Structure 1
Amino acid sequence: MSILFASIVATVAMTIFSYIISWWSRKNYSEPYWLAQLIYKPVFGTTSLSFILGWLTHFLIGYLFAVIWIKSPLIDASQDWRYLIVGAFFGCLGIFSWILIFLFSQKNDKSFIIPYCCQLFFAHLVYGITLINFI
């Protein structure tokens, strides 16, 4: 399968996981929503452009993560447990990135950021499992 296709499927699976956790917790943990709110809304306002750019950015990051994984000489892709490495690595990278985004925005409420980052780690495990199974 192509890297692009695998990254799209993995990003969709991760996002579905985040929507399920959002529904269960009654908090919005949607990555594209927060990308739109924290990065694009201050520039473009509350417009459909912010919403579209949030989604495009989410898929672009998913694609870049897939390319990084495929090109990494440090990973032995023949190991069955590799999805845990993929998910954990990108989960930590994603959490670090989101902490920076939240710290430089108006939404720096720890009571939201900590559970958001926890669900984000598990969402990236879903991403990793899905990515490995579609590559």
Structure 2
Amino acid sequence: MKALQLIAAGICATAVMSGYSYSSSWYKKENYREPELLAELVDQILPGLPERNQLAGGWAAHFVAGSSWSLVLNKSWRHMGLRPSLPIVLSSGLASGLAGVLIWNTAFKLCEKQPHTSKRDFFQHLLAAHLVYSYFVALFSRPQ
């Protein structure tokens, strides 16, 4: 499968994952919206940037990460001779979620101003969100 198709699969899977995160945020009355949390980090890195640009930066970073990770997952599956089955997708989702937790935890530690989100609850949410993400990467990157 061509890299452009895998990037598109990552973008689509990231959009679905973001929908899951926005829905969970609404339901639990917490902020699990990754692009908005990334926008808060952008604000600390580039203070004075207009809020709409911070949010655009948050979305861009989220889609770049999602499309890049799609390439990594697909290359890993191919390298190991695996076809995405439920056990493969679940283990990939768990690995993706753990990587996400490590990356977010590091980002939070590097920032002076912490977001108003329970880290423990957010990290649990990330694990579930990445199960959704991995399922849709597998679905959208299947050969037609």
Identify whether the pair has TM-score above 0.5, normalized to the shorter chain: yes
Question: Using the alignment, how far apart are the partners of 1:121 and 1:27 within structure 2?
Answer: 16
2:17–2:130 contact (8 Å) kept in structure 1: yes
The gaps in structure 1 that reach 5 residues or longer are: none
Pairing partner for 1:8 from 4, 8, 11 = 11
1:18–1:29 contact (8 Å) kept in structure 2: yes
Matched, 1:104 2:110: yes
Q: Deviations over 1:41-96 (max 9, x none)?
A: 02143512211111000000001110111112236125442211221111000010
The corresponding residue for 2:21 is: 18
Pairing partner for 1:130 from 117, 121, 136 = 136
Question: Using the alignment, how far apart are the partners of 1:100 and 1:108 within structure 2?
Answer: 13
The corresponding residue for 1:89 is: 95
Aligned-residue offset at 1:10:
0.5
2:35–2:58 contact (8 Å) kept in structure 1: yes
The total of aligned residue pairs comes to 133
Question: Using the alignment, how far apart are the partners of 2:28 and 2:86 within structure 1?
Answer: 32
2:40–2:115 contact (8 Å) kept in structure 1: no
The gaps in structure 2 that reach 5 residues or longer are: none
Identity of aligned residues (%): 29
Matched, 1:60 2:64: yes
Question: 1:75/1:15 Cα in 2 relative to 1: closer, same or farther (>3 Å)?
Answer: farther
Question: Using the alignment, how far apart are the partners of 2:127 and 2:86 within structure 1?
Answer: 20
